[in-house]
Amino acid sequence: MDARQIIADLRRGARLSDEALQWFAAGLADGRVSDAQAGAFAMAVCWRGLDRDGRGAFTRAMRDSGDVMQWDLPGPVVDKHSTGGVGDCVSLLLAPALAACGTYVPMISGRGLGHTGGTLDKLEAIPGVTTSVSGEKLQQIVADVGCAIVGATGNIAPADKRLYAIRDVTSTVESLDLITASILSKKLAASPDVLVLDVKLGSGAFMKSLDEARQLARSLTETATAAGCSCRALITDMDQPLVPALGNGLEIAIIMEALQEGKHRRLQQLTARLGGELLEGVGCAPTAEAGSQKIVDALADGSAADRFGQMVYQLGGPADFNDQWRAYLPNAPITRNVRARKAGYIAAINGEELGHAVVHLGGGRLQAQDQIDPSVGVGELLSLGTWCEAGDVIAVVHAASASAADQAEYAILRSVQIGPEKPSCGPLVLERH
């Protein structure tokens, strides 16, 4: 086989054999497939698509391009993944809360993709933290702390590691097949007993319609179940950022406020719902509702915060981060208040445009080799339905330069709509699959 023929067959709409997909995934991992060929393959998948069997075969091939982890722990192994949104830092709150509830969470996460932030980029805003660890180190942290949020380093899904970076810079992110294979190849390689998926829907998500979100939820749960992993999915609202901040360091600050001060109700609510599904799924709670209450208790009594601090230290961060986090997080040299041009309600928020604004501030990547600035972003964003007067601050830009702040301010004013009618906000969790 060769990459050119596989790409040509796919471009013509032919069904690729399992062997061809296995060969291509192996070629991504060992370098036989070039970056150009990987980009062409991704574009062909976006254009032609894979059928259900092909999607499952490519997912398993990506998983099997590296090691599949085995666990010997005194409790169940669980995991969670989000399909991507803006201001979505649930993983950073959920993993330590689940660890405090007696489960083990080897969370293999990703970096920023398109307009959405990456969990690894957020965690690495903490000085000293590195999410690139060996499989042995991952095993050790999970056993000692109960949770570890790391990248697919070493030999865990190396095919996805290559393709993930290429998709980000070739505008081939929004593909049901590629999203399914990317998410599940890493998650299945971690061998969880139960997996929960947070499928985002709305202006700040990749999925803009309920039908698209349902298709993705079904694709993910069917593919995971066929691979032998118990899986459930929630479709959740992303018509506004989950928290009032976008940007890596700014979102870590949000996490610490949630862990230590009980702030950010929507973040805590969704964290509890997702955690409840997992705790019920592995028998640590009789119902999902009872599991959600366990997560709420772990957040309230400080046990989740303790696990988070331990994880940060094990990943190379400061031992006293929980006590001194404000001093450790980076500050941008320029802050700019963005003020409403007229009175009214916050009627709509274009989350995707806000996400791109953060990327252009330096909080994401335009090229695969770009370095992220952890200090930049957008903070203190007003939520949907909030009344503001002309001149009120609707957001604060954190920027590295005045020109970057100018561009971000313009993007915020364009993406946040103010109107005379208060919008009706739907539920945070829309459907369960």
Is 63 among the residues known to form the active site? no
Choosing from 55, 60, 64, 79, the catalytic residue is: 79
332, 338 Cβ separation under 8 angstroms: no
Choosing from 63, 186, 232, 356, the catalytic residue is: 186
Is 122 among the residues known to form the active site? no
Neighbouring C-beta atoms of residue 424, cutoff 10 Å: 7
The SS3 assignment for 282 reads coil
Choosing from 63, 187, 214, 273, the catalytic residue is: 187
Torsion of the alpha carbons at 168, 141, 106 and 57, rounded to the nearest 10: 70
In the DSSP assignment, the letter for residue 349 is: E
Write the DSSP string, 20-80: HHHHHHHHHHHSSS-HHHHHHHHHHHHHH---HHHHHHHHHHHHTTS-------SS-BEEE
Is 175 among the residues known to form the active site? no
Choosing from 60, 63, 81, 336, the catalytic residue is: 81
Is 167 among the residues known to form the active site? yes
Choosing from 55, 167, 200, 356, the catalytic residue is: 167
Choosing from 82, 103, 203, 292, the catalytic residue is: 82
Torsion of the alpha carbons at 231, 280, 76 and 221, rounded to the nearest 10: 0
Choosing from 182, 203, 219, 271, the catalytic residue is: 182
Is 186 among the residues known to form the active site? yes
* CB contact set of 401 (below 8 Å; sequence gap of 6+): 333, 334
Is 119 among the residues known to form the active site? yes
Q: Which residue in 80, 67, 429, 19 sits closest to 224, CA to CA? A: 80
Is 65 among the residues known to form the active site? no
CA 355: distance to chain centroid? 13
> Is residue 426 packed enough to be buried (19+ CB in 10 Å), middle (13-18) or exposed (0-12)?
exposed
Choosing from 116, 119, 221, 415, the catalytic residue is: 119
- Give the residue numbers marked as catalytic: 79-82, 119, 167, 182, 186-187
